[in-house]
Amino acid sequence: MQHQSELVESPNPMMVPNDRIDELRTILRRTDIAYYTDAMPIMDDRDYDRLYDELVQLEAENPHSITPDSPTQRVSGQPMKEFQNIAHDEPMLSLQNTYNRDEVQDFDRRVAEGLEQKAHEYWCDLKYDGVAMSLRYENGTLARALTRGDGTTGDDITQNVRTISTVPLRVQPVLLNGVPLLDFEVRGEVYMRNADFLRLNEEREALGEKLYANPRNLTAGTLKLQDAREVTKRPLQLACYFLRLLRLDSATAPQQALLSQADNMRLLKEMGFPMAQHSRLCADLNEVFAFIDEWETRRETLPFQTDGAVVKVNSIAQQTELGAVGRFPRWAFAYKYEAKKARTRLNAISLQIGRTGVATPVAELAPVALAGSTISRATLHNADFIRDLDVREGDTVIIEKGGDVIPKVSGVVAEERDAASQPYTFPSECGCAFRQPLKRIEGEAAYYCEFAGCPSQIRGRLTHFCSRTVMDIEGLGDKAIDQLAEAGLLTTIADIYRLHEKRAQLLALERWGEKKADNCLAAIEESKKQPFTKVLFGLGVRFVGEETAKILAEHFGTMEKLHEASADELSSVFGIGERTAGAIANWFQSEQNQRLTQELAALGLAMRYEGQALAGIVTPIYGKTFVITGTLPTMKRDEAKELIQRYGGKVAGAVSKKTDFVLAGAEAGSKLEKAQELGVQVISEEDLKAMMAQ
């Protein structure tokens, strides 16, 4: 790792804060590009954090110096209510696409005719399966990010795009014809890596939330989130593939300064943009086909989804000469790869009981090779999915791996169905030795097993607790947990922390030597240092993911306080919905769960939030109920609501005798009248701020 030690040094005492601020921003930007875009870190994390903290501190002391392109300002502004629809100043065209090689030849013929048989080269890209984006830079700074929309107008999602770590908020300056390139539009695809998609979906599954079908849907869903802070939790990537100049200098017509697609990509790369990978300049159609063929199979090894190759005429002058017909440029074309399919026999449909008790039907398949892996199982989601597809045990089914990463059963070969076959009926029992009934919750597609002693649930809970993102206990992965549970050494989470008493039994198990046992016990001991938030997340309460656990820990401060909270109290916390509040209250009602938290406390796990719990601070508004009405002078209503809740107050929708304060702004209507009628104290925004200041 090449160190930038001279830059990491403490500030020169003569340096005025503004110079240091500029210097820090430059270093951090360069380090970000090296880390995120080039995957070549040039600084270690600790140094980076130190510089970042120094910048935060300097900016806090000099608030006038904060600029939107500062690395500290990726998340900014208030959650959006809706996105503004804005016209593209140059339409975002589609591509003609085909699955047919002859049509690629036709495309080449049309290009040659359009160029009156002049020689031409092609630039080949992978076709990223994501969401197209237009980024506008003015004066070197990211000014606006628009979705493609209908090609003519798109949504302004600048706030969300700013949070993508590889998107430069300010570019590294490069010269074009001796003039700095500062005003331009970049287009590219926002996408999510397969591994990140699978991990996020696993987390959602663990929380009992609906799964995303594929990385593209998850990307699109993420970009449309209204709160940019949420976007930061989902790792999005950008791959750029297009540059257009808005302005260069008064003498040069912008588009004429650009020579070729290959040059444009080089310029973008130099400015610090993350580029589409594996692109290639091809001299003729044969080389284009070689590119297409090579990536048809190699794409299976890529960490992201591609659904084809994009072939572009390399020369920008030739692109302009060819122009566009309707929605399609005549200089570019997409060749799409077929979704990989295979046929196999569905031997049986089994049930998998998750840690929250959901019973997921799984297709047990005769093993079949598909797009680089052997598939022997695939999820059938739920009873509705099976019914809609009318898939039956013994059927020959089609397995597909398209842009979805996860193989799926996409169809049934009806002609090969056995005449005696019967439609599948969802079992009424779970199938394990305890033969527990399965129940369908009204309004949900899933069937549940409610048996607390269910072995699958127990294992699911243990696995979740020990996993890397939770308590991070190395040595207790799925297989070890299965083995220890089977041997009767693990039933509850608390048993993990009693394993050291059973060292002899552990050593008696197959594949458990002294070293392995000691490492595992040491990892268990070490996990006791995990903060309260992780312990809370690890309990596996439905809908309580890491973020929710953080909110709860921050608000209530201790496990005891959380236990005592009613569903009403829980749902009045900002960020906790009614469904989650209900699930938490319900979880703490169970005697078994109460015993578990007591045992974990006695075993030395963190039961207290290490920071200052907000609910613990006695503020003048703690526990008081507010109703907000009218237009406040400086705050939006949501902001006032968040502020009140953060200080321990509650916000209700209607005025009643239980209301303590009505916070009224301009043009307050009936709620103000009601307050006066009931004698409820009416306060202004200024009064509220004065109360907070106390």
* Residues at the contact surface with ligand IVH, assessed by CB under 6 A: 93-95, 97, 125, 127-128, 132, 148, 189, 241-242, 276, 310, 329, 332, 334
Residue nearer to ligand IVH on the CB measure, 95 or 466: 95
Residue nearer to ligand IVH on the CB measure, 75 or 93: 93
Per DSSP, helices labelled H in 62-100 are: none
- Out of 127, 401, 408, 671, the active site residue is 127
Q: Are 163 and 232 in contact (CB under 8 A)?
A: yes
- The least CB distance from residue 124 to ligand IVH, in Å, is 9
- The least CB distance from residue 212 to ligand IVH, in Å, is 19
Give CA angle at 641 (161, 645), nearest 5°. 105
Give CA angle at 39 (33, 44), nearest 5°. 80
Question: Which structure tokens are listed for 386?
Answer: 């099976």
DSSP three-state, residue 289: helix
- The least CB distance from residue 239 to ligand IVH, in Å, is 7
- The least CB distance from residue 95 to ligand IVH, in Å, is 4
For residue 404, how many other CB atoms are within 10 A of its CB? 20
- The least CB distance from residue 125 to ligand IVH, in Å, is 3
DSSP three-state, residue 478: helix
Residue nearer to ligand IVH on the CB measure, 97 or 352: 97
- The least CB distance from residue 80 to ligand IVH, in Å, is 23
Q: Of 554, 580, 544, 562, nearest to 646 (Cα)? A: 554
Distance CA(584)–CA(586), nearest Å, equals: 5
Sheet arrangement for strand 237-247: 141-147, 131-138, 183-191, 237-247
Q: Which position's Cβ is nearest ligand IVH? A: 132
* Sign of the alpha-carbon dihedral angle for 635, 639, 644, 650: positive
Residues with Cβ within 8 Å of residue 343, at least 6 apart in sequence: 368, 396, 397, 398, 399, 413
- The least CB distance from residue 467 to ligand IVH, in Å, is 34
Distance CA(320)–CA(331), nearest Å, equals: 8
How far are the Cα atoms of 108, 260, 412, 454 from residue 319, in angstroms, in the given order? 13, 9, 45, 64
Residue nearer to ligand IVH on the CB measure, 276 or 363: 276
For residue 185, how many other CB atoms are within 10 A of its CB? 21
State which amino acid sits at residue 675.
Answer: A
How far are the Cα atoms of 90, 154, 229 from residue 84, in angstroms, in the given order? 18, 8, 19
- H or E stretch covering 114: helix 101-114
457-478 as b/e: b if 16+ CB within 10 A? bbbbbbbbbbbeebbebebbee
- The least CB distance from residue 73 to ligand IVH, in Å, is 28
β-strands 625-629, 650-652 pairing: parallel
State which amino acid sits at residue 196.
Answer: D
- The least CB distance from residue 294 to ligand IVH, in Å, is 16
Distance CA(62)–CA(22), nearest Å, equals: 13
291-329 as b/e: b if 16+ CB within 10 A? bbeebbeebeeeebbbbbbbbbbbbbebbebbeeeeeeb
Distance CA(386)–CA(412), nearest Å, equals: 11
- The least CB distance from residue 307 to ligand IVH, in Å, is 8
Q: Are 663 and 636 in contact (CB under 8 A)?
A: no
Give backbone dihedrals phi and psi of 693, rounded to 5 degrees, phi first.
-65, -25
- The least CB distance from residue 144 to ligand IVH, in Å, is 18
For residue 179, how many other CB atoms are within 10 A of its CB? 13
Torsion of CA 608, 612, 618, 619, to 10 degrees: -140
For residue 79, how many other CB atoms are within 10 A of its CB? 15
Question: Which structure tokens are listed for 325?
Answer: 């017909």
Torsion of CA 539, 586, 210, 578, to 10 degrees: -120
Q: Are 399 and 375 in contact (CB under 8 A)?
A: yes
Q: Is 641 a catalytic residue?
A: no
Q: Are 549 and 577 in contact (CB under 8 A)?
A: no
- H or E stretch covering 160: helix 158-162
Distance CA(547)–CA(541), nearest Å, equals: 13
- The least CB distance from residue 391 to ligand IVH, in Å, is 32
Beta strands, E only, 248-394: 280-282, 306-313, 324-325, 328-329, 332-336, 340-353, 358-370, 373-379
Residues belonging to the active site: 127
